[in-house]
Amino acid sequence: MPEAARANVAFLTTRWSRVMLAGQEDMDSAQEALAGLCQDYWYPLYAYCRRQGLEMHDAQDATQGFFNHLLEAGTLQRARAEQGRFRTFLLGSLRHFLANERRHQNAAKRSGGAVVSFDEMAAEQRFASEPADSATPESLFERGWAFALIERVFRRLEDEYLAAEKHALFSALRPLLTAESARPGHEALAVSLGMSTAAVGTAVFRMRRRYGELMREEIAQTVASPAEVEEEIAHLIRVVARG
């Protein structure tokens, strides 16, 4: 099978693809995939609600109310019709939800309990550390999205090192993962880890390579086709660079 064909076959197993390809025969799987994506990317939604002027408890209710709305019957078919990136679909759906709530002059109340769990106090602490008033709700959503994705990649990478009983190596090398030039610190690390300088350099290279692979895997979960992965990476790099 050609490489491009293999990539497309593999892509159909990703979460956002399962949502978009939802049919009656696999609706439960698609619903589970959508809930999992919401679980991973809830914070950008909360931050967007807060920057729109909602107070803490109202933003919490709005976020949970939106999840209830998003996981209702009919949403999956709309996702299939719209396609595109999950990031774009999620923000557009939240805007529509909040606008409807305002039009009906009805606060976004939680209904049916919390369908996606998140730490509400941690969310507020994160929001308090965000850039001040210069950030628009949309730019704050993008920033939150980018860092939520990076955090998930770091967790997956750390889990792999834990499974291999190499957590001390992960902790030592993590600061060098995204550094412009890690070379000057290799000698000190080699001494502390009981490794040669060359071995440290190889370990850093392997960690960075695996980080890149996991980043692409995570982004592939949220876009509509393999061709969009590199575009999404470039977009997220720009978002992070803006700070």
Average pLDDT, the chain: 79
Residue from 221, 203, 188, 223 nearest 157 by CA:
203
Distance of CA 229 to the CA centre of its chain: 14
Note the pLDDT of residue 156.
95
| pLDDT tens, position by position, 70-110 | 777 566 666 655 557 888 888 988 998 898 877 665 544 55
Note the pLDDT of residue 234.
92
Note the pLDDT of residue 93.
87
Alpha-carbon span 220 to 152, nearest angstrom: 13
Note the pLDDT of residue 37.
80
Note the pLDDT of residue 134.
58
| pLDDT tens, position by position, 203-241 | 999 999 999 999 999 998 888 788 889 999 999 989 988
User: CA quadruple 207, 151, 80, 35: dihedral positive or negative?
Assistant: positive
**Tokens 């692979």, residue located:** 213
The pTM of this model reads 0.76
**Tokens 């992965």, residue located:** 229
What DSSP string describes 177-198? SS-S--GGGHHHHHHHHT--HH
